[in-house]
Structure 1
Amino acid sequence: MDKHSTSAEKGTYISIAAYIFLSALKLSFGYFGDSKGLWADGLNNTTDIIASMAVLIGLKISKRPPDDNHSYGHLRVETVASLVAAFIMVTVGLQVIFSAVKSFFNQDSTTVPNMLTAYVAIFSAIFMYGIYRYNLALSKKINSASIYAVAQDNRSDALVSIGASIGIIGTKVGIFWLDAIAALVVGIIICKTAWDIFRDASISLTDGFDEQLLQQIGQTILLTEGVKNMSEIKARMHGSEILLEATVHVNPLLTVIQSHDITVKIEENLLNEYNIQYVIVHIEPYIFPKKR
């Protein structure tokens, strides 16, 4: 648990540091280089700082041990943090879309940004893509929904910077509408990413679970030595942890100790294969088929 939280917080701190650096860079060059696109991209990064801070707070709260009101701990706060990140992302995405539509119908060809702003935008895209790859790999390694949300936000920011660079270059060659089209596409991508994060977090918070994974877990239980049958299995996500309950049927002639040993073996198999640390196994007697 501590290792998971420490790694997740490290990824969030890296994102926050990157956003602070890039927002200062983009706002400065966007203002002095007369680039509205780069300036807007810098403002976008300032909202990302808020989203990352929300995730960081969620991660810190999720580390709290169980108490009287939270017998299972506070891990689900991490999922709530990913929801907050999704809401902030969709807000930014809609702002980008509305701004793009407005720019398309109100094109201003009097201001041509400095070419240096395009280089800054390209550098920012490459830099943020590297952060995205790091956090994506980290989210898969520690199975963190909130860090996955942060990684998707990183990718969206890289796309926004690419859109800004395309718009700046288009303006330099006289294609003034290219900025608006690029921004529109980027805005749609950001909203789609936010929706994916919101959907996954909502499924987790409403105790939804991957049916295919549940079947694989059930097969592992059935293959455990001593298990004759399984009549029920259910699971839910609690932050990054899986909570599982199963009812298995064993030989009714076994002693309590022998039946208990089977449950221990099931728990060991699930921990080794799926890293499931919380398992409740209910034992029922197996009714052998009557011989004809």
Structure 2
Amino acid sequence: MTKQSRKKILSAIYIGLIANIFLTLIKIGFGLWGNAQSLVSDGINSFSDIFMSLMIFFVLKVATKKPDHNHPYGHQKFEGLAYFTIGIIFSFTAIFIGYRAVASIIEYSINQSAVLKPDIITLYISILSLGVKIGLTIFYFKLNKLYKNPTIKAEYKNHFFDIWSTSLTVIVLVLAQYNLIIFDYIGSLIISFFILRLSISILKEAATFLVDQAPDNSELKHIRDYISSVDGVVTIDDLKARMHMTELYVDVEIGVKENLSLKEAHEIAEYVHEHVEHKFEEVIHCMVHVNPHK
């Protein structure tokens, strides 16, 4: 990651952080004042987003450090660890919101007269929040397309799912204005499922970043086909690749004619090494081992 791209990504995190603080304050504040549980639940979701933005900000400072003695392959996997932690935070947020929603539905079933209708201003706040979320989603979508950064991708996916949860809040608050108050609690419960689904998606993807998962077979095939086409490569005896966040490390064993000199065999290996890294942008290092082939 270049210094300029790192600066732009950090600036984007600042924007998301400020927006989430604003949304948390108005959602929870007006939700409590206007008796709108779905809006409060949406606010709790935005509150968890604040922790997400703060964690991303601090982790990016570590993940973008240059390789050192203790971390010769770089610090990028700290970003994967942060990505995994974000998934955990969202899981607990979903469970908490879901528990409150179920408790409120039970309470409403027992004593409907004690429940107050959400104030109309909570509907206006939810519509405003929806507009902000749509803007943030478009912003992070374009940024992720440009930099293909895991943490920016997490922010984009989070804001995208928030569009659905906030849209749901708008719908249930409209229904609540017609005294269908139970939909406020049902909406809160559905929001918890949205967040839980997002957390599972993030956890699954974070696991691939942390366990050296292989890339898609099609991508591996492209690399294999290219190496096979190199003049002097007789066979490919072994080919392995592992994901290093959004990049790849490639290890390949090639077979060359056994009567070649050490210098000639080395030149073929060096050609494969340099040209694989040049042709495939996602490959940050290609290790080549040469075998004599009869």
TM-score (norm 2): 0.87
- State the distance in 1 between where 2:251 and 2:12 align: 32
Query: Comparing 248-257 with 181-190, which one deviates more in the overlay?
Result: 248-257
2:192 maps to 1:205 = no
Residue number in structure 1 paired with 2:234:
228
Query: Per-residue deviation at 1:238?
Result: 2.3
Residue number in structure 1 paired with 2:141:
136
Query: Per-residue deviation at 1:41?
Result: 2.0
Query: Comparing 29-38 with 72-81, which one deviates more in the overlay?
Result: 29-38
* Superposition pairs of residues 1-292 of structure 1, within 5 angstroms: 1-2=1-2, 3-107=4-108, 108=112, 110-212=115-217, 213-266=219-272, 267-287=274-294
Where 1:106 maps in the other structure, the secondary structure is: helix
Gaps spanning 5+ residues in structure 2: where? Answer: none
Query: Per-residue deviation at 1:16?
Result: 1.0
- State the distance in 2 between where 1:140 and 1:50 align: 24
Query: Per-residue deviation at 1:4?
Result: 4.5
- State the distance in 2 between where 1:178 and 1:225 align: 68
- Root-mean-square deviation (CA), in Å? 2.3
Gaps spanning 5+ residues in structure 1: where? Answer: 288-292
Alpha-carbon deviations, 1:119-140, whole Å to 9, x = none?
A: 2212212321332233234334
- Are the equivalent residues in 2 in contact too, given 1:222–1:228 (CA < 8 A)? yes
- Are the equivalent residues in 2 in contact too, given 1:163–1:179 (CA < 8 A)? no
Alpha-carbon deviations, 1:235-269, whole Å to 9, x = none?
A: 22223332221111223344444444434443324
TM-score (norm 1): 0.88
- Are the equivalent residues in 1 in contact too, given 2:36–2:184 (CA < 8 A)? no
- 1:264/1:12 CA distance change after superposition, 3 Å: farther
Aligned pair count? Answer: 287
Alpha-carbon deviations, 1:123-179, whole Å to 9, x = none?
A: 212321332233234334323222222222222332332222222112111222222
- State the distance in 2 between where 1:25 and 1:271 align: 50
Counterpart amino acid of residue 25 in structure 2: A
- 1:14/1:271 CA distance change after superposition, 3 Å: farther
